[in-house]
Amino acid sequence: MPQASPNAAGRLPDASPWDGIAERLRASGLRWTPQRRTLVDVLREHEGHVTATELIARCRERDQTTTPSTVYRTLDVLEDFGLVKHGHGPGGREEYHVLPDQVHGHLHCMACGATWEIRPETGAAIVDALAADLGFAVDLSHVTISGRCRVCRD
């Protein structure tokens, strides 16, 4: 019998957005496969921003037979479920944000390569400015703005 945990009596410990992902997929007529499990395992321990290439590499560490096309397709599915969001770095390469708490855009420093999230208020300012101007409805989650961060702008 396992030792009693501080999280007593079988109650949910700390719920993760990944919990029940298998069931949620099946509920939509989709399937829970070993390949998807591998990717979700990788994502589960990787909050923040990652490139698709990095994710493929991490999957391959766990399963040597990992195929890029399968990973890309699974990322698309997970994006439909809101578990990841992708944007594009300054080179146009895909960057995934795991578990986006809320819709937000990204900043990328061309000098040091670092990435930040645009804060909600600042994002709202951008959305408002473009709505007022051209009536354009910004998809903030896909916005990556490049430039130079406070440290790198000389």
Alpha-carbon distance values, 99 to 72, 95, 115, 146 (Å): 17, 13, 16, 22
Neighbours of 85 (CB within 10 A): 20
Pick one of 33, 93, 112, 113: the residue that binds its own copies (CB under 8 A): 93
H or E element: which one contains 121? helix 120-134
Measured in whole angstroms, how far is the alpha carbon of residue 92 from the centre of its chain?
17
From the list its own copies, Zn ion, DNA, none, pick the one residue 18 interacts with, judged by a Cβ distance below 5 to 8 Å according to partner type.
none
| Site pattern 65..104 for DNA (x: CB under 7 A) | xxxxxx-xxx--x-------------xxxx----------
107: contact with its own copies by CB under 8 A: yes
Q: Which part of the chain contacts Zn ion (CB under 5 A), choosing from 61-69, 76-84, 123-131, 141-149?
A: 141-149
